[in-house]
Chain A
Amino acid sequence: MDSANGKPLAPDNNWLTTEFFENRRKFPEAELMKYAGKHIAWSWDGSQIVASADSMQELHEQVNALGLDSSRVVYSYVDRPDAIYV
C-alpha cells in the first residue's frame, strides 16, 4: 500500500476515511438515541444523520428522494436501548 506523510492512501475515493470514524465517535449519544429502533443514513464524513426510516427499504427510498448519492452515505441501524440481540 502506498503512503503519504506516513498515512496509507486509499486505492480511490470510494473508501471511508479516518475522519468518518472519528466524527461518528464524537456524535452526541443523546442525539443518536432519538433514532432508536430506526434505520439511519450517516453522511460520508460521519458528522451527521442525513435520513432515517422504519425499514431499510424506506431508507433507500428516502435517500433517493432527497437526491443523495446512495453510495456516499453509510446505512446503519440504531439498536433499541431496551433490547438484547441474539
Chain B
Amino acid sequence: MDEMRAKLLGQFGQMSLERLEVLNLRLVTLEEKPSDAEAIEELMREIHTMKGESRMLGLTTLNTVSHRVEDVLVWCRDRGFRVPQEATDLCFSGFDLMGGICVGESLEEVDPGLVEAVDELLAAIDGYLTENADLEALEPVEPAASAEPEAEAESSEPADTPAARSTSKSDGAFLRVGVGKLDRLTHFSGDLFLRQAHQEQVASDLERVTEDLLSAVVKMRPGEPLDRRDITRLSAYGKELRARLAALRDASFMSHMRLRELQDDISQIRLIEVESLFSRYVRAARDIAKEQGKQVRVVIDGGDVAADNHVLESLADPLLHLIRNSVDHGLETPDVRVAAGKPEQGTLKLTARHVGAQVEILIQDDGGGIDPNRVRAKLEQKDLLSKTELDGMSKEAILQQLFRSGFSTRDKVSDLSGRGVGLDVVRKNVEAMGGTANVESHVGKGSTFRLMVPISAAVTQAFVVRLSVGLFGIQSMAIDTIVDEGDLVVEAAAEGESLLLGEADRVPLYDLELMLGFPGVERDVALRSDVIVVRQAGRRLGLRAGRLLGERTVVQQSMSAFVQGLPLTSGTALIEGGELVTLLQMHAVFDQALDAAGRRRKITKSAAQEANVRKRVLLVEDSDLTREMLASTLSKMGYEVWEAVNGQDGLDKLDRRTPDIIVTDLDMPILDGFGLIRAVRARPRLAELPLIVLSTRDSAEDKRHAAQAGADAYLVKSAFNEDALSQTFASLLIDD
C-alpha cells in the first residue's frame, strides 16, 4: 500500500468513528421521538457520506453495509419518517458492524467473523424490506413516556441542532492533525518559561551587583585613596548598571506577557467540547438499560463546555464506568419505579460546567440511591474500617468509601458494572490528571457522581516543597489548606499524631519525607515546618512538608517509561532555574498513610495495651518541643513518663526512683547522653536497666560509642517512628 493511500485510510477510519458516534446519537433520539425529521435527515446525510467515501476508497464491505442501512432509512422516510423498532435495531446492528470494521486491523481486509455477521445483517435487512415492501405508510409510533417535559426541551436545545453540531465538529476537526505539534508547542512554551525565569535570575544578580557597588561608593570618605573623580565615575557606573537593569526588567516583563499569550493560545487550541465525549454514552446507556428491561433517557447539559483533548480522552473510561454504574445499580426497572411513584423511564443527566480553571462533570441519576448503612455494613464486614472509625464518619464520608480499592456493595458481580474498571480505578484515573471524584446520594431519589478535572492537563498548578532529597510537587487541587508552623496544634496519640484544625476537627499528621521512605531531615527541623492538609475521597491528611516554595504553574511531563511502575509519583516538571520537581500521586500517598496507620494500630495494641501494665519511662531530652512530643506519644502508648531536661537532671531523678526503661538524647547541656549512660551503668542498681538512645546523630561511630558506653538500642530521630519505638520497647521489656 502506498503512503498516500495508507494516510487516506487512516483519516477515513478516524472520521468514520466520529460519524458513527453522531449516527448512534441520532438513532437514539429517533428511538425516543420516532418522527424527528431533523434527526432522520442528519442520519441520512451522515450515512450517505460514509457510503460515498467508502466507495471512493474501494472499501466494499463498508460500502455495502452503509448502502443497505441507508436503504432502511430511505424506506422509513418514504413512509412518513416514523421509524419502527425493528428498523432501528437493524440500523444499530449496521452501525456496530461498521464500527467493528473501522477499529479492525485493516479496513481493506475485513475480519472473516465480521464478514459473516455482515452477511447475516444484509439478509435480515433484505428480509425486512421485502416483507414490508407493500406497506405504504408507517403507523404512528407512540413516543416513549417522558419523565420531565422541561428536561426534554433541555436536551434538544439549539446547540443540539444539526447545523450547530456540524459547526462544532468542523471546529474540532483540526485537532486530528494538530495534537503532535501542539504537544511540542506546549513543551516549547515550558522551555520559554524557563528562559524567562533565567532572565529574571540574571536581573536579580545585576541588581545585587548594582547595590553592592552603590553601597561601596557610599562608604567612601575623604582621605581614602579614591578621589572625587573616581567617586563620580563609580556612581555613573552604578547608574548605568541600574539603567541596564531597568531595560532588562522591561524585556523580561514583555517576554512574560508574550509567553502568557502563547500559552493561552495553545491552551485554547487544545480545547474541545465535552459534547464530543458525552454523546458517546447515549447509545451505551440505552443498550445497558435495554438489556436489563429498564428505560433511560439521557439528558446532556453544558455540552459546549470545553476542556483539553487529553483530559477528556482520559475521562472516557471512568465516565463509561460511572454511566454503567448509574444505569445498572442506580436506575430501577419500570415496575419498581412506578410503585415508587416515579415515571417508568429513568433519567440520566450528564452535566459539564466550568468552575475556575476546572471542569465539573456530574453524572446524575434519579434511581434508588445508595444506602450509606449498606456501605457501612460492607466496610465493617470486609474489615476495611473499624467500628470506631466508622462511628466517627458522617454519612457523606462513608459514601466516599465506595471509591476504596476492592469495595463492592453487590454480592453478585453483575455483567455490566462488575466488568473492567471499578470505582477505585475511576478515582485513580481522575486523580492521576490532578482531579477529584466524589459521590452524593439520597435513598429513593438517586445519586450524583461529581468529577472535578483541570481544563488542561499539560499545564497545571502544583504546590512545590523542598525536602532534603529534592523538590516534590502536590497538585493544588488536592490541597485543602496550609497551616503555618505558628498555628500548628498537634495532638499525639498511640495511633499517631493528629493536627487539630478546630475543636473536634482532627487530621492525621505525617512527615512527608518519612512517608516517602527517605531518611528525613533532622526531626527538630521537621517539627518546625508548615503542614499541608490534602484531601481525597472525603478523607484528609496533614503532611509536614519541609520548606514550602509555594504554588507554581508547571508544564507536567509524564513519568519516564523506565520508572512508570513506581506508585507514589505521577510526573515531573521543571521550574525556574531548571530545577526538577517530582509530582506526587496523591491517592497513592493516601494509601501509604492508611497502610502505615493500620500497622501502627496493631503494633501499639500488642506492645502496650495488651500487656496491660503501666511501665515507667525516664525521658531525658533537652529540647522542650521534642520532649513534649515524645512524652505525649509515650503516655498515649500506655507508659508513665518522667521527664528530665539534661543528663544531670536525669541522674538526679534516677537517684530518687528507678524507672523500667530510659530514653535519652545525646547532645545535651551540663551532662550529655554519653555521660549519663556511663553514670547509669556505673550504678549497680541501674546497671541492667534497659536504655535507648534517641539522637539526631546518625554515624556508625556514634552508635558504636553509645553501645560501648552501655546503650541497649539506638534510634535516629530523623528516622523516628512510633512503630520502631514500640518494637524496641517491646524487645527490651519483654521479660519483665
A and B together in one complex: no
